[in-house]
Amino acid sequence: MTIQVAKLSDPAVRAFVTAVNAHDRAAFQALLAPGATMSDDGSGRDLDDWTDREIFSSHGHMDVDNESKGGRALIAHYSNDTWGEMKTKWSFTVDDGGKITHFETGQA
């Protein structure tokens, strides 16, 4: 059973999932701290290139199954037009100002 996005515990992560599912690039970018980074399956990726390819141009969507670590770790079914649906894990590092400084994703 999925968790409603509005019930996700961490405000930055909740806003991240909301922006991804709404395909709202401006809202997504507003969540990121300057110099934010990301990795996919343990390999660092260019954040702008990856998010354009894996989220925005391919209609990415997250259905969160569960959360842990105060809402900063998720297991979600992620789908996009390129890869279809897969079970994924996500973890987030959030600074004191509520901005995401790093996120990690990969297959769960």
- The letter for the amino acid at 69 is K
Cβ neighbours of residue 31 closer than 8 Å, sequence gap 6 or more: 12, 15, 16, 19, 99, 100
**Residue 106 to residue 42: CA distance in whole angstroms:** 7
**Residue 8 to residue 84: CA distance in whole angstroms:** 24
With 90 as the cut, is the pLDDT of residue 98 above it?
A: yes
Q: What is the pLDDT of residues 19-78, one digit of tens each?
A: 999 999 999 999 999 999 999 999 999 999 999 999 999 999 999 999 999 999 999 999
Question: What CA–CA distances, in Å, run from 56 to 7, 26, 32?
Answer: 24, 11, 16
**Residue 61 to residue 39: CA distance in whole angstroms:** 18
Place of tokens 């959360």: 67
With 80 as the cut, is the pLDDT of residue 7 above it?
A: yes
With 80 as the cut, is the pLDDT of residue 1 above it?
A: no
Helices within the chain (DSSP H only): 11-22, 25-30, 47-51
pTM of the model: 0.96
